[in-house]
């Protein structure tokens, strides 16, 4: 049951609720600008700064994921389950990889440092199916806002 107080003492304002709903409608890992364009269709008077601030609040509270891919803008993910991400090095599209834990990698990390490893984020880099079909030099711009089909071997175009 939804309450006005929301998650972890955070008030679930109409703006936050609409931002969260719009983020959950896409599987493209949108940037704040992309979320803003979607939310403006429903809340015409909302500002970009409000969207940025609320995305950060939702991420800080664990309601959404925050992705900071190397060489790209910060993106947001409505799926907070454990999974990895794959980024297309040509068009920047980001997808989900549901591969489970990687115990051998975790063991190697623990042996390679004196840090107490508490977790890790893994970003795979490659070419998305659309870019693989195009010759080098021709880029495919990732579409923000439509559902991407499920890919092979646990990869989703989110």
Task: State pLDDT tens for residues 18-50.
Answer: 999 999 999 899 999 999 999 999 999 999 999
| CA gap 27, 144 in Å, rounded | 9
The helix/strand/coil state of 4 is coil
> Is residue 143, in this structure, part of any structural domain at all?
yes
Task: State pLDDT tens for residues 45-98.
Answer: 999 999 999 999 999 999 999 998 777 789 999 999 989 999 999 988 899 999
Residue 136 pLDDT: 73
Tokens in use for 131? 């870019």
> Is residue 106, in this structure, part of any structural domain at all?
yes
> Is residue 39, in this structure, part of any structural domain at all?
no
- Helix ranges, the chain (H): 14-24, 32-40, 48-60, 103-112, 129-132
CATH of the domain at 85: 3.30.1490.190
> Is residue 44, in this structure, part of any structural domain at all?
no
């Amino acid at each position: 049951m939804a309450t006005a107080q929301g998650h972890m003492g955070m008030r679930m304002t109409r703006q936050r609720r609409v931002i969260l709903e719009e983020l959950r409608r896409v599987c493209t890992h949108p940037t704040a600008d992309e979320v803003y364009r979607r939310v403006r269709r429903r809340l015409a008077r909302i500002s970009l700064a409000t969207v940025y601030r609320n995305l950060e609040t939702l991420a800080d509270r664990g309601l959404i994921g925050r992705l900071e891919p190397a060489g790209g803008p910060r993106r947001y993910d409505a799926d907070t389950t454990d999974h990895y991400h794959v980024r297309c090095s040509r068009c920047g599209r980001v997808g989900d990889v549901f591969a489970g834990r990687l115990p051998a990698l975790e063991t190697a990390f623990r042996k390679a440092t004196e840090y107490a490893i508490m977790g890790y984020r893994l970003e795979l880099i490659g070419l998305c199916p659309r870019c693989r079909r195009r010759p080098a030099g021709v880029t495919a711009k990732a579409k923000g806002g439509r559902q991407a089909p499920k890919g092979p071997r646990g990869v989703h175009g989110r």
